[in-house]
Structure 1
Amino acid sequence: MTSPLQSFDLYIEPSPRQVRVRVGETFIATTRSALLVHERERLPVYYFPLESVESSWLEPSTHKSECARKGVASYWHLVVGDRRVENAVWRYSEPTTDAGRALEHYYAFEWKAVDAWYEEEEPLFLHPHARDPYKRVDAINSSRHVRVLIGDQVVAESRNTVAVFETGLPTRYYFPLQDVAAKWLRPSTTLTSCPYKGQAHYWSVQAGDTLHKDVVWYYPTPIPEIPKIAGLLAFYQERVTRFEVDGVAVSDEPWHRSVLDFFNHGTFYSLR
């Protein structure tokens, strides 16, 4: 049966965390009363009460945008010292829905327009969204037989992986280096960041005459909450020819951006 959770498109909740935003050496927003906004098929966003942002750093913009779920948003440029970031801040000044009216007196920031975000005293890695309190990341030692092929080359095979189960994402298997054919790995300069795991480094894979770019990643120094994956290598199963677990090919699995999407693929039952 369909659950009410499956019919909602937007969920707003107060965050218990102190949230701060920094540009250069200046903290431009600090609040213990942020709202965390979840929208279907989108990543969560922090909204700050108007009084928690120093208005002297905001310069009005003529830019506007419209959202069917919330209304019309007005924008401001962010000006801190010699730094000016175009259309970095927005507010739903002309709300057209109940959700928009709930956000009318709050600002939001383009995540990458600022230099750093903090929850309490801990910096968030520059991934383009806030941490989702409903996401769980479990790293579990696994003895399943996992094999990766690119073309007809077996590039990794192991019964000693760490399986990472992250809410809303495909299961990822992290291989010990000795179980990966290192002779086919090629260095990459790509770096990405994840608020749940840390900063990832990448390898490409040379298979015959073809270089498969950034197929492999690893976390040299993951954040303290997930130490088991330090130095282990993981493959994008959607970018290789065949990814097997216990002899069965793993197909593409959906990615979910919002807590509202997590419930799309299960079945709800009522006892009434």
Structure 2
Amino acid sequence: MAGQAAALVTLVEIRGGAARPLGAQMAVRDDGLYCGFVSGGCVESAVAHEALEVIASGTDRMVRYGQGSPYFDIVLPCGGGITLSIHKLRSAQPLHAVLKATAQRQTASLHYAPASQTLRSELSDGESGWHDEEFTVSYQPCTRVIVYGRSMEAEATARVARAAGYEVHTSDGFDPRTSFALMDAQTAVILLYHDLNRELPILQAALAANPFYIGALGSMRTHAARVEKLTGLGWCEQDLKRIRAPIGIFPKARDAHSLALSVLADVAAARLAGAEK
């Protein structure tokens, strides 16, 4: 509700194991309502209470739970410990700036300075964590998945991708020849055609762009034919190594739903690997 006070809670330290990554956040409103998770659900109610005190006092604080915490009655199932910063929001502008940037497919970050109790935003790409006296939370645009193909496999893969929270585009929703502008560094390109000639223009566009994942349907024999065609079109071995084929992590997945799971698991693994570099 407009005009209500709120606090932003951020996971700034992990000791041992933890259910959420560094930089996980939750927001707490002055009426006690909150959203987001900084643990597996075991401390959020206690954190909301702390946040209400921060909102009332106007003074930010750091709170420790689990290992090394003064709250002996709040135990983390993972056996580790976490430290949370609780910041009373004095301006929503940094949050709006991050939301605008990610909506425009840009990376952005929030920087929190405990000493001055200030929050600022920046267009930048980096890791979440402490940098000098500030804690940085990095935000990436939503993972985009483009599924090419008009088949049961393509339909099932699009459904699984939507259920996973990805931004999904399919060849039923646009002309495949004009979709190349969608291929950015946060995009997975999935080709589920049964026709090499139909996939070649799209595959070349994907190789010319910078998606983090390119996968194509077909057997090893099919992929050998694909490589031969692309080599003849001037693509080098290093380029062709970017294509994951046969697509997916399950060998010889023959039904549409197993293939969809196989493909999206591979996409998720590639996205996570890229985020950890």
What interval of TM-score do these two structures reach, taking the shorter chain for normalisation? under 0.3
Given the two structures, how large is their TM-score scaled by the length of structure 1? 0.27
Relative to total residues, which structure has the larger strand share, 1 or 2?
1
Given the two structures, how large is their TM-score scaled by the length of structure 2? 0.26
Please tell me whether Structure 1 or Structure 2 has the larger radius of gyration of its CA atoms. Answer: 2
Higher relative contact order (CA 8 A, sep 6+): 1
